[in-house]
Amino acid sequence: MEHPLQAWRDTLRELGVVGLVREPRLEPAAPQAAPQPVHRVVPEAPLPPAVPKAYAPPTGPVACPPAAAVQAAATLADLQRAIEGCLACPLGPGRMKFVFGEGDPAARLLFVGEGPGRDEDLQGRPFVGKAGELLDKMIGALGFSRETTYIANIVKCRPPDNRTPTPEEAHTCLGYLHRQIELIRPDVIVTLGATPLRELAGITEGITKLRGQWQRIQVGGREIPVMPTFHPAYVLRQYTQDVRRAVWQDLQAAKEWLDRPAGS
Ligand code: URA
């Protein structure tokens, strides 16, 4: 039987790590003026059907979840119940399943991607396709798992043809993610790709330039450090050692921040 350390070593190799050399400690950059995300509040997985069914319009009353219901949600389960019927933007009517997010409701480490793809839309779970397999490996190599972190997206319904969500779609959905973040209270957020960095932190500079550089956001009166890194789908497309090593460094910086002694 394969020794667990062997699997870990193989995963590290896949991520481009060729030797284990202690990296100099990366301190978060001095806090910048914290961008103030707009709290514009507009408004769970059986096996996927073998054949995708056509969209069936809801039979009950349809309304965008009232902002008050989103704010009143005291748990992630409450929040999910309040918003999973959302038809507030054009993505709603096209979805198979609402992809709320999953993981430890009190996770210290939160990953935020862009939006569900085909596999996620079918299963109602984030990052379950090829990019998700890689994300799972990276999370595992860090010493965490899906169950000990939390994974969410900027939009909770699949954009057609996996296109980038429009700013309107993202803004319509962002209030839900903000409430999720307020309830989870993560110590660090890792944004995957350009879209979550833009929508959560208001930063439009290229991810290639900004990855690895600590940012900060303010949600629910808390300042949260954000580590931007490449999206796993990009890593799969650009499967070079440089890209894989960059992501590994970013994830390690996030873990080091979590592991720092209290009060430092
Ligand atoms: N890509 C994302 O950004 N999110 C997912 O959930 C899956 C793929």
Q: Tell me whether residue 247 is in a domain.
A: yes
Residue with tokens 């990855």: 211
Is 159 near ligand 1, meaning CB less than 6 Å away?
Answer: no
Is 115 near ligand 1, meaning CB less than 6 Å away?
Answer: yes
Parallel, antiparallel or unpaired: strands 150-153 and 102-103: antiparallel
Q: What is the value of pTM for the model shown?
A: 0.81
pLDDT for residue 263: 74
Q: Tell me whether residue 154 is in a domain.
A: yes
Q: Tell me whether residue 248 is in a domain.
A: yes
Parallel, antiparallel or unpaired: strands 222-229 and 215-219: antiparallel
pLDDT for residue 260: 92
Q: How far apart are CA 92 and CA 221, in angstroms?
A: 30
Q: Tell me whether residue 106 is in a domain.
A: yes
Cβ(126)–Cβ(102) under 8 Å? yes
Instruction: Give me ligand 1 centre to Cα 153, in Å.
Output: 7
Is 116 near ligand 1, meaning CB less than 6 Å away?
Answer: yes
Q: How many domains are contained in the chain?
A: 1
* Probe residue for ligand 1, chosen from 91, 100, 114, 133 as the CB with the greatest number of ligand atoms within 8 Å: 114
Q: Tell me whether residue 7 is in a domain.
A: no
Q: Tell me whether residue 42 is in a domain.
A: no
Cβ(140)–Cβ(111) under 8 Å? no
Is 196 near ligand 1, meaning CB less than 6 Å away?
Answer: no
Question: Where are any strands of DSSP class E within the chain?
Answer: 102-103, 109-113, 150-153, 188-192, 215-219, 222-229
Q: How far apart are CA 68 and CA 57, in angstroms?
A: 25
Chain-centroid distance of CA 159 in Å reads 16
Q: Tell me whether residue 84 is in a domain.
A: no
Cβ(250)–Cβ(229) under 8 Å? yes
92-147 pLDDT, tens digit per residue, is: 999 999 999 999 999 999 999 999 999 999 999 999 999 999 999 999 999 999 99
Is 100 near ligand 1, meaning CB less than 6 Å away?
Answer: no
Can you give the residue range of the structural domain that contains 234? 101-259
Which atom of ligand 1 is closest in space to residue 231's alpha carbon?
3
CATH code for position 241: 3.40.470.10
- Across all residues in the chain, what is the average pLDDT? 86
Which DSSP state fits 189?
A: E
Q: Tell me whether residue 166 is in a domain.
A: yes
188-230 pLDDT, tens digit per residue, is: 999 999 999 999 999 999 999 999 999 999 999 999 999 999 9
Check whether 70 has a pLDDT greater than 50.
yes
In the chain, what percentage of residues exceed pLDDT 70? 76
Binned at pLDDT 50, 70 and 90, residue 27 comes out as low
